[in-house]
Amino acid sequence: MIEKLNKDGTEYHEKSMEPFNHAGWTNRLWQGDGYRRAHIDTVDARSTKGLWMMHCCIQPNLDNNAPIFGLDVIAGENKVTGFFHDYSPVSSHDHDLSKEFANMVADLDWSKKRELPDWAKAIFSDDMIAAGNVRAGTQDLTQIVEISKSSVDYYLMRVADFNETMEIEQGKIAHNRYAHYQKQNPHTPRTMKSLGLSENDVDTFISECLFPEI
């Protein structure tokens, strides 16, 4: 995914992110023709906790009514304990990109799906992938890896097509709503703290850097 964003966009730095880049914790940011902020956050605690986590969020320009790209992975030594992926609506569930995402995931299935909490239902699409207990060497794992690759390729290829399709103020409201509900997720701080990150760092990071409001 880093390779794809390096090719498609331009990497930049946010000063507020500087304290959260150190051994085992990496945050990188890009901007592109159709998106104002693409963020990849990885925490590598394989040597200490036997866990690895990745978060990727690509937010379109404020005048762009494309959905928000989201992908989260939490993995242990032999299985992915959580995999979450969505094109989350900004304007309409009937957006062209949303329809294509629905087509991409229509035939996929997993041995264990997760029921979404209310905060997630408020912002995610009905086609969101929420899978757990995906073991190494299985067809389930192959499916989620392949859909990750194809969906980010499609998103980056199409997102700029929807510039100037939304009033900027409406875009701000929609993006802030997404950030607000994402911050209600209790699993994000719990998981990050379990990986050995300090409580103060995690709370500040989630509030100000992971899902900053405009």
Nearest-angstrom CA–CA distance, 60 and 171: 9
pLDDT tens digits, one per residue of 113-164 = 667 789 988 999 989 998 888 888 888 888 889 999 999 999 999 999 999 9
Contacts of 131 (CB under 8 A, 6+ apart): 80, 82, 83, 84, 110, 112, 113, 114, 140, 144
Residues 6+ apart with CB under 8 A from 157: none
Cα–Cα dist 111/126, whole Å: 19
Given phi > 0 = left and psi -120 to 50 = alpha, else beta, which region is 133?
left
Identity at 24, one-letter amino acid code: G
Q: Does domain 2-210 have CATH number 3.40.1500.20?
A: yes
CA distances from 211 to 90, 176, 204 (A): 15, 9, 11
Mean pLDDT of 184-202: 85
What per-residue confidence (pLDDT) applies to 198? 86
Q: What ranges do the domains of the chain cover?
A: 2-210
